[in-house]
Amino acid sequence: MIPIRDTIPSRNYPVVNNTIIGINVVVFLVQLSQGDDLIRFNYIYGLVPARYTISHFSSYFSAWDQLFSLISFMFLHGGFFHLLGNMWSLYIFGDNIEDSLGPLRYLVFYLLCGLASGLSHLALNLHSNIPTIGASGAISGVMGAYFLLYPRSKILTIIPIIIIPWFVELPAFIFLGIWILMQMLNAAGSQAGAAGIAWWAHIGGFLFGIVFLKLFQAYPHVGVMEQVAKATARKKTDKLQIIHPVSQGDSPHMYGVLAISIYESLTGTQKMVNVPWGFQNRLFRVSVPAGTRHGSLLKLQGLGKIISHGERGDLYLKVLIQDQGMPR
């Protein structure tokens, strides 16, 4: 399963989430510049359980080195696709958690999830001399929080069937439920201390993400967080929107809803509209002219039901103007 996007738009620009993604990319470029010293670099800044449990190894590192590695390991990656997969998942799920917690609390939450995932791996691999690297544990915490906050959100997902990509919307609780189940099955089938993916770090991050979210929710937003939220409020709705058209009686025409912001209604905008019908990936560009009013209809000619002889009705999109500052 490959997630494409979720259906919960964020009200604010994910400043912290995007910054974390940027830092990961920069650190990966630093890794690439290490050349033959990359293994040594990963050993120093990755999480190596034996460094904390075997005196022969720990004697080579200062207290600062040991503490710093508990954070730095979550910004290292083992290759381009490792980085891409992690950052894509963080891009999809992280903005909504930052929206809920606020930028400052989200930063602390993310780092705590990464730390907890690392300690989970360390506790179950006490004598491993293999560096554990990657943001997967921290991102698993973000996914755990998403599982709790938005269980009925839809995740647009690609499920490859042989060579045919099948686009399907899965409820978040099903998508994430399958994901955590796969982590548990892989963890049960892997050997402790063996090289490969740190499955228990994923599981620990996911569970601690739920715990930390509940703890953070117990404390209300303070004034400075409200100010930050206002400063980062979005002026636009999502560029890509998923439309579920419906028909009315025997009419060949189909009808759906397109959401735009007040700002976009005044200035005009362009959206990419996805209509996921079975195995077909129907993606269209829709232009919204400036001055469009709430309830206006945009016509996409020939995208309705088949009438006869290959002719089709039209798809009409009703414009819904949203106030981006209003809570969901």
Q: Which is higher by pLDDT, 160 or 29?
A: 29
As a whole number, mean pLDDT of residues 74-98 equals 94
The pLDDT value given to residue 284? 82
242-262: pLDDT as tens digits: 788 888 878 888 899 998 888
111-132: pLDDT as tens digits: 999 999 999 989 888 888 889 9
Read off the pTM: 0.77
277-300: b (≥16 Cβ within 10 Å) or e: eeeeeeeeebebeeebeeebebeb
pLDDT band per the 50, 70, 90 thresholds, residue 197: low
Q: Which is higher by pLDDT, 3 or 310?
A: 3
As a whole number, mean pLDDT of residues 61-65 equals 90
Distances (CA, A) of 39 to 34, 81, 141, 308: 9, 18, 27, 65
152-162: pLDDT as tens digits: 998 888 887 77
The pLDDT value given to residue 225? 61
As a whole number, mean pLDDT of residues 183-196 equals 65
The pLDDT value given to residue 263? 83
Asked if the model's pLDDT at residue 328 lies above 50, the reply is: no
Half-sphere exposure of 27 (CA within 13 A, CB side): 23
pLDDT band per the 50, 70, 90 thresholds, residue 313: confident
Rounded CA-CA distance 105/165 in Å is 38
pLDDT band per the 50, 70, 90 thresholds, residue 24: very high
Report the chain's mean pLDDT, rounded to a whole number: 85
Closest CA to 264 of 240, 237, 242: 237
Rounded CA-CA distance 213/110 in Å is 10
Alpha helices in 190-267 (DSSP H): 199-217, 223-231, 262-267
Give me the domains of the chain, ranges plus CATH numbers.
2-231 (1.20.1540.10), 240-322 (2.60.260.20)
Helix axes 103-124, 199-217, angle to 10 degrees: 140
The pLDDT value given to residue 273? 85
257-294: pLDDT as tens digits: 998 888 888 899 999 887 765 445 577 889 999 999 99
Asked if the model's pLDDT at residue 235 lies above 50, the reply is: yes
The pLDDT value given to residue 324? 53
